[in-house]
Structure 1
Amino acid sequence: SESAAELYTAVDKLIPNLKKEEYEIDEKHKSVALTDDGMEHIEQLLDQNNLLGGGGLYDIQNVALVHHVNQALRAHKLFHLDKDYIIKDGKVVLIDEFTGRMMDGRRLSEGLHQAIEAKERVDIQNENQTLASITFQNYFRMYPKLAGMTGTGMTEAAEFAQIYKLGVISIPTHVSVARIDNQDKIYKSLSEKEDAIVDLIKECYGRKQPVLVGTVSIEKSEVLSERLKKEKIPHNVLNARHHEREAYIVGQAGRPGAVTIATNMAGRGTDIKLGGNAEMRIAEELGENPDQKAIDKIHEEIERDKKTVMEAGGLYIIGTERHESRRIDNQLRGRSGRQGDPGASMFFLSVEDDLMRIFAGDKLEALLGNARIGLQEGEALEHPLISKMLERAQAKVEGMHFEIRKNLLKFDDVMNDQRKVIYEQRREIMEAQSVEDLVRDMRHEVIEDTIRATIPHGSYAEQWDTDALHTECQRLLGLDLPIDEWAKEEGIADAELLERITEESDKKIAAKVADTGSDLWRRMEKSIVLQLLDQQWKEHLLQLDHLRQGINLRAFGQKDPLNEYKTEAFAAFELMIDQMRESITQTLSLVEIRAADTPFPPRRQQEEFHESRDDPALEGEGSIMQDMQNSKNVRQMPLRNRSDAPFDKNDPETWGKTQRNAPCPCGSGKKFKHCHGQLAGHG
């Protein structure tokens, strides 16, 4: 809304006033927090700008303001233009840190994206709400078989084994690798490192050896580009901002003297051929229906160029710094020396690099500043032990990220059970010709719960809360019943009262069906059930998201956050099921059908839903959103089919159809409708 956008902008203007000592940045864990002095200062600034709603910043009425301040602080101190995001067409577009590509359509949650938009003075978009979510791990587990192929999987072998129970096998190359991987060169400062990189590029350019320079961000690729322009070295820049001719630029990166500066996106899916790519040159230079002589000429040039490049030493890969993941470094190296071609690679590092500064800075600085080593200005340190130390730093970062993913998966496993129940129920509703039985059972259960809440079991009529029962019948069923008169009848019991209310409710619905027409009512009934199911699930996801954010604080009370989350999430799920039954019962009992001027369409058009790019379950073939529009596709989903699996009392997917009044297959001794059937809402 407009007021929310104004608040993001107003808070954003205050952050630059904070001094460096008024906040603490933890780059290792990517977090930032105000110090005590910072809290006092921001409180004064908010008060001066009439943003503080009375009291202190941390008083209950200012909770939303604290959230805005924290997100604005993160936007300014943790997210950087041309590294974490770019501005494209007046919008903030995120950059994937591993691939270097733009993530169009993906937005940060909890108001963080809006805080970045306020920082960059672009239009502030509305916050998104999650319609559905699933982790990649649980998404992949839905398939009965998993396999993959990658050139850099060995560094993640432990994670594949632990999460997916998959082994990683290294297949020897068909032709021996002729690439020479040089030791890393480490410099004391960033400027010394940049000078050394430019010198090596000039040297390679002089002998017509093609060079591919890998950078970690758009900003750094453009800084290096400016240096090369000053040296009058022709080159191509490939990053998320200049990606239109990506395939062609990478395809020609192997030509003699070619210099290509690229972020992590360098050439994924495109082979760098020494001498250049003939097909691409023909398409680019000759257009449609090219002359055979011209084609032959290009092939001859490429053969000649290939010979020149191979004599010069093949493609030279220069890494301007190490990435947090060894896998990304290996991918960059792997662009050279393919199919037995010659090549070389070298990484240039400095103590000021992000990875070095955060994870190995103190040790390296002490080592490079050691008087016995005696490094002069512009001199580099090269040693296998240093390279090993850097690899250990990278392994430490990878291990930390793995622990985060593993912990996230444990929490998502809790929600995954609930997700299966809801999606299965939704699929059944989509496939069913009519949801009449399901809706009737829900309504009867709501009436039963209402009776139970207002009439204590085995009590006398004088103890009944007839006013509350009368109010609830009006609110939920739209029925004005003589509850007081019934309660005064001789020998009346709660069971008889339940029977009368149920009978009146059934009569009312039957009258609605008769007035509306059975076909129209059934279609409308199904549509309402689906809409309310989606609405309740969406709100439940938001509630679980909030629960997840604060649950780790339970550890201070000597409680296991995961067990606490399981308990709270299950209670929230039960509450959601109850609320869904109530809302469906109430909506169908109170809905009024008026005759329209135009006939009702054969099939109601579904509202357009905004699909979140974060959620693979909402995209592509077999997606939930696709199911909503075409229920015939449900059986085409490539999901694990459990119908033929042996019966397992711990796995509801193996139970098949269970009657509502039958004993629950889990062995609890309860009726199915009061146990697992209550969760699934089976009809």
Structure 2
Amino acid sequence: MFRVLNKMFDNNQRDVQRLIKTVVQPVNALEEETKQIEDLAAAFSALRTRVIEGGESLDDLIVPAFALIREASRRSIGKRHYDVQLIGGAALHAGRIAEMRTGEGKTLVATLALAFNALSGKGAHLVTVNDYLVRVGAEEMALLYRALGLTVGVIQRDMTPTQRQAAYACDITYITNSELGFDYLRDNMSQSREQLVLRADTPLHYAIVDEVDSILVDEARTPLIISGAAEKATDQYYVMAKLVKRLIKGEPAEPGKRTEPTGDYTVDEKSKGVHLTEGGITKLERLLSIDDLYSPEQMEKAHMITQALRAKDMYQKDTDYIVNAEGEVVIIDEFTGRSMAGRRYGEGLHQAIEAKENVKIENENQTLATITYQNFFRLYTKFAGMTGTAKTEEKEFLDIYGSDVLVVPTNRPVIRTDGEDLVYRTRNGKYTNVVNEVVEMHKTGRPILIGTVSIDTSELLSRMLKEAGVPHNVLNAKYEAQEASIVAQAGRSNQVTIATNMAGRGTDIKLGGNAEFLLGEALEQNFGISRFAPEAENFLAAVVRKDPQALELGKEIPGVTDAFVKQAQQLNDDMEADHIKVQQLGGLHIIGTERHESRRIDNQLRGRAGRQGDPGSSRFFVSFEDELMRLFANDRVVGMMDRLGMDDTQPIEAKMVTGAIEKAQARVEDRNFSTRKQLLEFDNVMSKQRETVYSQRREVLLGPDEDVEESVEGMIADFVEMKLAEFAPIESDHDDWDVEGLQAAMLDAIPQLEGFDFASLKTRPPEEAHRALLEATADAFDARKVEMGAGTLNQLSRYVLLQVVDQHWKEHLHGMDVLRQGIGLRGYGQRDPFTEYKFEATNMFNEMVDTLKAEVSKFIFRMQVGG
């Protein structure tokens, strides 16, 4: 009965069937006709004309456009989109999240929606997680885009503003999420329209976010921040790092055991928080020779102590960060295992870690511009996402982004075998059994991929495998340069690979190895030609599909000999034979050495096996000393192991244990979602203010001179009305007016009003008095235009507006940072911190706007132009 009900209410299956009828079948029906078209670029350009000049809707052209894109792909790169890939492309065009399993060709799927949405002439962005995937994705698909007459741009971290402008001006642009976000923030700090790198008219039109769960869920806990050096001494961090070594870690109060916490401080591992005990506070006050650690004068010291304790107990080297060869503390992304160059922990935590590791402390920074990924991607007119694992986060995608998830069927059925978890008492027992399994399976020749959650674990297992005599490769944040090569060949027989997480690795694992990738590397190393150069791509494709033309195509590459071509063909044949061998052995075997706090990360690791109908298997090894199990799993299971007298070598393989793990993961996911939601709620307050400032700033930067003049006149009038309301409110008696105060305030800003008879204001009706001062100010502005020349005044006004806005916005952001850090204390007074934050933030913003108007008025009337 339940199976019938599930089928009745399976919206995903219904949506897939609808897309098969409306997109897949009509595109297939056009295939033979499309093959007869000689000039695909001209046909695609005709569709663009119908959209831009004819005003036709994109939705009405999806069938002929997809047919042309599929044919361009077949001709240019030798890949024909599968029917299920057409479904994925249609979902991306509709602004949905497409869940597609690893190996289903998401890179090719994206070309459908990117090329199609580029017909609008407003640009389309492919956003992914690192520079390597940006470069490879664009270069792999460049021939396809060019066959359609489209331009494609690539943005890398070290590019100049001029290069970025050219890349964003292309029809399709490939870029990382961080570079895109920072370009947006930098554009909103630019002082001239020439400095803008994003398109001026449609900066954020359409985007596909690759590895959407990694970017919009995992990385969404940390906002993008552009910082400038703050004037704050850093040597105190070294002092605090030494000081906290003298503090004793205790246990928190626990009902039925301890009424008071023990030691000098306690740690809450779940929230990564630390709390000083009364004894600890007294001890620190004595060591620091101060009376009250939490007095307003000492709050900075209290904050630095807290961060020093967090650095000492909550952030571990080679797990949360590494210290590179240059002595820099580099954060490790807990979800992908990659180093995050250029990213720093905020609020002094990074400096505290640098002090703990006794390396050079970089100056503390002040926020100049900031935005969360959630609010950034909601600025797009339309955006979509794709990943191998999104369904578990569908509620979050719907709540925050308004995007649902479509699970796209696989091209071939998945036949991978997923074993039950094996749970051990201790980590040592677990690792010993992992190595034993690797040794036994390695004897058969099957390729093995071992997933770890930290660098420490990967290096420990590497040492154990060396002792056991098993050759292997290690992939973690210390060896990122070899990442693509290691992953590409992880499916060859006898291959053992240890990888710190597999999220967003990008490179496909093919059974028997990836001949095209290996030969491409050989071309680059031996002949200095990129494997993405058109002649190299044509040659490699011919070798892989055993085209007799391979020999002739190889001769088009300078330096390539007949002998090299024959070696390439032999390598391809050997890998084909190895593919069959590995299939017969059972395919790639996945070993997870620990359950991640996110089920998605576990699923991504598992998804590396069983691609495109290949066989494969997976199993997770877990211990009760693992972080997730220790903090969140059920103590009853450990008690049961004790009662049964089980030792380190004996695992539990039971649904009860698997259930406990899944519940622990669900609890962590709920907690992380709450963290992201709270971050977003606070940023939404800032977002409205940011949109107001950035939109007005953009009007000043890009608008005509008349608009700038109108803005300045409006601000001056607002300033006058503000002063009138302060010193001569319209609703009060003349006797209560402070005309002397009004005169002093006005002349301070507008000395040109010196001849105005302020005393006469008391003799006029309130409305007339107010109108008289406003008119006198308008006359002074007109005189200023004549004096300086309208063109010069507008040019200077634009400069003044941008400078004043930027300076006060920077100060406002600092004030918001301070408010955000301290607002939680309002909860102790039985007041809702978020409500208090909104109220205070609104007041601060209004004060900033009033100050802006006053300063702009003062600059406009007082500035002088040099001779």
Task: Name the TM-score class by shorter chain.
Answer: 0.7 to 0.9
Structure 2 distance, partners of 1:189, 1:522, is: 72
Query: Structure 1 residues 318 and 489, CA, compared in 2 at 3 Å: closer, same or farther?
Result: closer
User: Which residue of structure 1 aligns with residue 613 of structure 2?
Assistant: 340
Q: Tell me the alpha carbon deviations over residues 358-404 of structure 1, each in whole angstroms, 9 at most, x when there is no partner.
A: 1016233222212xx23134111111221122111101111111122
Query: Structure 1 residues 18 and 490, CA, compared in 2 at 3 Å: closer, same or farther?
Result: closer
User: Which residue of structure 1 aligns with residue 327 of structure 2?
Assistant: 90
Query: Structure 1 residues 377 and 106, CA, compared in 2 at 3 Å: closer, same or farther?
Result: closer
Q: Which moved more, 1:541-550 or 1:583-592?
A: 541-550
Query: Structure 1 residues 577 and 101, CA, compared in 2 at 3 Å: closer, same or farther?
Result: same
Within 5 Å, give how 1:260-409 maps onto structure 2: 260-265=497-502, 268-285=505-522, 287-288=526-527, 289=560, 291-360=564-633, 362-370=635-643, 373-409=644-680
Which one of 393, 418, 430 corresponds to residue 689 of structure 2? Answer: 418
Equivalent pairs, count: 586
Deviation of 1:514 (Å): 4.5
User: Which residue of structure 2 aligns with residue 440 of structure 1?
Assistant: 713
1:145 is aligned to 2:382:
yes
Structure 2 distance, partners of 1:508, 1:74, is: 59
Deviation of 1:504 (Å): 6.1
Structure 2 distance, partners of 1:65, 1:279, is: 58
Q: Structure 1: any 5+ residue segments left out of the alignment?
A: 596-683
| Counterpart amino acid of residue 24 in structure 1 | T
User: Which residue of structure 1 aligns with residue 257 of structure 2?
Assistant: none
Query: Structure 1 residues 467 and 71, CA, compared in 2 at 3 Å: closer, same or farther?
Result: farther
Within 5 Å, give how 1:661-680 maps onto structure 2: none
Deviation of 1:2 (Å): 7.9
Query: Structure 1 residues 505 and 161, CA, compared in 2 at 3 Å: closer, same or farther?
Result: closer
User: Which residue of structure 2 aligns with residue 56 of structure 1?
Assistant: 292
Conserved in 2, the CA contact under 8 Å of 1:204 and 1:257?
no
User: Which residue of structure 2 aligns with residue 30 of structure 1?
Assistant: 272
Deviation of 1:500 (Å): 6.4
| Counterpart amino acid of residue 843 in structure 2 | A
Structure 1 distance, partners of 2:865, 2:784, is: 8
1:77 is aligned to 2:306:
no
Within 5 Å, give how 1:195-594 maps onto structure 2: 195-265=432-502, 268-285=505-522, 287-288=526-527, 289=560, 291-360=564-633, 362-370=635-643, 373-434=644-705, 435-457=708-730, 463-478=736-751, 481=754, 486-487=758-759, 491=763, 505=777, 509=781, 512-594=784-866
Query: Structure 1 residues 479 and 125, CA, compared in 2 at 3 Å: closer, same or farther?
Result: farther
Conserved in 2, the CA contact under 8 Å of 1:418 and 1:573?
yes
Q: Which moved more, 1:378-387 or 1:446-455?
A: 446-455
User: Which residue of structure 2 aligns with residue 616 of structure 1?
Assistant: none
| Counterpart amino acid of residue 642 in structure 2 | G
Deviation of 1:537 (Å): 2.5
Query: Structure 1 residues 495 and 192, CA, compared in 2 at 3 Å: closer, same or farther?
Result: same
| Counterpart amino acid of residue 812 in structure 2 | H
Q: Which moved more, 1:178-187 or 1:223-232?
A: 223-232
Structure 2 distance, partners of 1:396, 1:489, is: 68
Query: Structure 1 residues 187 and 501, CA, compared in 2 at 3 Å: closer, same or farther?
Result: same
| Counterpart amino acid of residue 505 in structure 2 | R
Deviation of 1:489 (Å): 9.0
Query: Structure 1 residues 342 and 460, CA, compared in 2 at 3 Å: closer, same or farther?
Result: closer
User: Which residue of structure 2 aligns with residue 20 of structure 1?
Assistant: 249
1:134 is aligned to 2:371:
yes
Deviation of 1:276 (Å): 0.9
Conserved in 2, the CA contact under 8 Å of 1:239 and 1:265?
no
Structure 2 distance, partners of 1:268, 1:440, is: 54
| Counterpart amino acid of residue 576 in structure 2 | E
Structure 1 distance, partners of 2:502, 2:342, is: 18
Structure 2 distance, partners of 1:490, 1:112, is: 59
Structure 1 distance, partners of 2:864, 2:460, is: 66
Q: Tell me the alpha carbon deviations over residues 472-521 of structure 1, each in whole angstroms, 9 at most, x when there is no partner.
A: 234323468478x8528983666676566556655665565445443232
Q: Tell me the alpha carbon deviations over residues 92-128 of structure 1, each in whole angstroms, 9 at most, x when there is no partner.
A: 2211111111222222222222222222222222233
Q: Structure 2: any 5+ residue segments left out of the alignment?
A: 1-229, 251-263, 528-559
Q: Tell me the alpha carbon deviations over residues 656-681 of structure 1, each in whole angstroms, 9 at most, x when there is no partner.
A: xxxxxxxxxxxxxxxxxxxxxxxxxx
Structure 2 distance, partners of 1:300, 1:19, is: 64
Query: Structure 1 residues 490 and 566, CA, compared in 2 at 3 Å: closer, same or farther?
Result: closer
Conserved in 2, the CA contact under 8 Å of 1:187 and 1:380?
yes
Deviation of 1:219 (Å): 1.9
| Counterpart amino acid of residue 450 in structure 1 | K
User: Which residue of structure 2 aligns with residue 681 of structure 1?
Assistant: none
Structure 1 distance, partners of 2:747, 2:865, is: 19
Structure 1 distance, partners of 2:797, 2:762, is: 39
Within 5 Å, give how 1:586-625 maps onto structure 2: 586-595=858-867
SS at 2:416's partner residue?
A: strand
Deviation of 1:459 (Å): 5.9
Conserved in 1, the CA contact under 8 Å of 2:488 and 2:517?
yes
SS at 2:323's partner residue?
A: strand
Structure 1 distance, partners of 2:358, 2:669, is: 35
User: Which residue of structure 1 aligns with residue 12 of structure 2?
Assistant: none
Q: Which moved more, 1:294-303 or 1:462-471?
A: 462-471
Deviation of 1:273 (Å): 0.9
Q: Which moved more, 1:413-422 or 1:227-236?
A: 413-422
| Counterpart amino acid of residue 579 in structure 1 | T
User: Which residue of structure 1 aligns with residue 549 of structure 2?
Assistant: none
Deviation of 1:261 (Å): 0.8
Conserved in 1, the CA contact under 8 Å of 2:427 and 2:625?
yes
Give the TM-score normalised by the residue count of structure 1: 0.80
Conserved in 1, the CA contact under 8 Å of 2:595 and 2:602?
yes
How large is the Cα RMSD of the aligned pairs? Answer: 2.6
Deviation of 1:464 (Å): 4.0
Query: Structure 1 residues 61 and 492, CA, compared in 2 at 3 Å: closer, same or farther?
Result: same
Structure 1 distance, partners of 2:285, 2:358, is: 23
Q: Tell me the alpha carbon deviations over residues 275-324 of structure 1, each in whole angstroms, 9 at most, x when there is no partner.
A: 11101222334633262210121012212322332233211111110000
Query: Structure 1 residues 171 and 442, CA, compared in 2 at 3 Å: closer, same or farther?
Result: closer
